[in-house]
């Protein structure tokens, strides 16, 4: 990978699904030291949030709301996953409820967030993963049911946005009761941009994401009024699309506001996306110096958020990888 005269760099990074984005976990702990959370929307993100929490002894899902599936179907969808495979533990669903590893999880089937009794279930924090209630006012409806904090698992126009490894230290538990975890693309792009900007300075940049298919796409051509190309069949096309990730980076890294722009291509793969970042740098440098900076960050301040490899890998090698950026 060569640098041009204007100190232009092209770097690639791996973006996970939105459901695998790391979340800022507000400091609320119930008796026993566990963070008690509820999940609104048991789709791709909701189910994978629960899978992730099952690997964390300090977090427990105590309630799930989804108006479109009952407990039996909920158990089936959680246990069997085409991408992340069969859940190895014990999962049961019946008229008596939804049970994971022998523990009953409260379930609701409400379309109105104000009718979800999060308090009775013991849920202090709600993961809002429907993709519908993404503004402060809409997400605040969960607080009427007893939630103390709400994490929106998508970009938001007005909620404070936090990305792990980038600006999570600015989270203020005293006033930040509703926050956004941004998008999967932003969680990949922001750590990369942060390291490069701190070490070498970014004048301007263009981001292109080659993005795996999502739940809103169609298996055959169908109507999509907002984005006509988005209505085309997912399996037979590379579909140009818009992305707000570059703009979102300016929210979590104010020093880069207005410096990055971007576009997306949706491709027919089930999981794992790529961010290609082309930038003009402030300082003269070499490819080796940039890679050394990224490797150092992955082993130190961004360990667990950013990973580094020189292996000849492909996208499927990163399925279920917890890192936001590789």
Residues in the chain: 326
**Domain endpoint, select from 153, 180, 207:** 180
Q: Are residues 27 and 13 in the same domain?
A: no
C-alpha–C-alpha distance, residues 130 and 42, integer Å: 8
Q: Are residues 241 and 111 in the same domain?
A: no
C-alpha–C-alpha distance, residues 54 and 304, integer Å: 18
3: in domain: no
Tokens of 222: 């169908």
pLDDT recorded at residue 2: 27
Specify the CATH number for the domain of residue 118.
3.40.50.720
Summarize pLDDT for 189-220 with one digit per residue, the tens. Answer: 999 999 999 999 999 999 999 999 999 999 99
Q: Are residues 292 and 202 in the same domain?
A: yes
Q: Are residues 135 and 153 in the same domain?
A: yes
Q: Are residues 34 and 153 in the same domain?
A: yes
Q: Are residues 218 and 164 in the same domain?
A: no
C-alpha–C-alpha distance, residues 164 and 179, integer Å: 13
2: in domain: no
pLDDT recorded at residue 33: 82
Q: Are residues 39 and 163 in the same domain?
A: yes
Can you give the three-state secondary structure of 225-275, one letter per residue? CCCHHHHCECCCCCEEECCCHHHHHHHHCHHHCCCEEEEEEEECCCCCEEE
Specify the CATH number for the domain of residue 216.
3.30.360.10
Cα–Cα–Cα angle for 20, 25, 26, rounded to 5 degrees: 155
Sequence-ordered alpha helix ranges (H) in the chain? 44-54, 71-79, 118-121, 136-139, 184-200, 245-252, 287-299
**Partners of 239 in the β-ladder:** 266
Q: Are residues 114 and 205 in the same domain?
A: no
1: in domain: no
Q: Which of 17-31, 209-223, 293-307 has the lowest mean pLDDT?
A: 17-31
| Segments forming the whole domain that contains residue 227 | 8-17+184-318
326: in domain: no
**Known binding residues for D-glyceraldehyde 3-phosphate:** 183-185, 214, 243-244, 266
Cα–Cα–Cα angle for 295, 184, 179, rounded to 5 degrees: 110
Q: In what order do the strands lie in the sheet with 91-94?
A: 91-94, 97-100, 103-108, 59-65, 35-40, 125-128, 149-152, 178-180
Q: Are residues 164 and 205 in the same domain?
A: no
Q: Are strands 97-100 and 91-94 parallel, antiparallel or unpaired?
A: antiparallel
Summarize pLDDT for 136-192 with one digit per residue, the tens. Answer: 999 999 999 999 999 999 999 999 999 999 999 999 999 999 999 999 999 999 999
Q: Are residues 34 and 175 in the same domain?
A: yes
Q: Are residues 171 and 201 in the same domain?
A: no
Summarize pLDDT for 210-249 with one digit per residue, the tens. Answer: 999 999 999 999 999 889 999 999 999 999 999 999 999 9
**Domain endpoint, select from 180, 198, 215:** 180
Q: Where do we find the tokens 């899902």?
A: 61
Summarize pLDDT for 83-94 with one digit per residue, the tens. Answer: 999 999 999 999
184 annotated active-site: yes
Q: Which of 25, 184, 188, 325 is catalytic?
A: 184
**Known binding residues for NAD(+):** 44-45, 66, 153
| Domains: count for the chain | 2
**Known binding residues:** 44-45, 66, 153, 183-185, 214, 243-244, 266
77: in domain: yes
């Amino acid at each position: 990978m060569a640098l041009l005269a204007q100190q232009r760099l092209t770097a690639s990074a791996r973006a996970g699904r939105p459901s695998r984005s790391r979340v800022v976990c507000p400091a609320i702990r119930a008796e026993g030291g566990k963070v008690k959370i509820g999940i609104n929307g048991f789709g791709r993100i909701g189910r994978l949030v629960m899978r992730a929490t099952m690997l964390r002894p300090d977090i427990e899902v105590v309630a799930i709301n989804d108006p479109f599936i009952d407990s039996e179907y909920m158990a089936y969808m959680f246990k069997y996953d085409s991408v992340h495979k069969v859940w190895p533990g014990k999962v049961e669903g019946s008229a008596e409820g939804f049970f994971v590893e022998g523990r009953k999880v409260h379930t609701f089937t409400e379309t109105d967030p104000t009718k979800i009794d999060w308090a009775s279930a013991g849920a202090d924090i709600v993961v809002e993963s429907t993709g519908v209630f993404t503004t402060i006012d809409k997400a605040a409806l969960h607080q009427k049911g007893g939630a103390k904090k709400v994490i929106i698992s998508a970009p938001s126009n007005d909620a404070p946005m936090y990305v792990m490894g980038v600006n999570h230290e600015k989270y203020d538990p005293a006033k930040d009761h509703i926050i956004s975890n941004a998008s999967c693309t932003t969680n990949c792009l922001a750590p990369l941009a942060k390291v490069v900007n701190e070490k070498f300075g970014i004048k301007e940049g263009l981001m292109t994401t080659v993005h795996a298919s999502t739940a809103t796409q169609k298996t055959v051509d169908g109507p999509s009024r907002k984005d006509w190309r988005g209505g085309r069949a997912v399996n037979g096309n590379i579909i140009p699309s818009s992305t707000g990730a570059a703009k979102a980076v300016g929210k979590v890294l104010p020093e880069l506001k207005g410096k990055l722009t971007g576009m997306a291509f949706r491709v027919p793969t089930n999981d794992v996306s790529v961010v290609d970042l082309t930038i003009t740098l402030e300082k003269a440098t070499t490819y080796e110096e940039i890679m050394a900076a990224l490797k150092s960050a992955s082993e130190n301040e961004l360990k667990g958020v950013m990973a580094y490899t020189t292996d000849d890998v492909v996208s499927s090698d990163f399925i279920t990888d917890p890192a936001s950026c590789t």
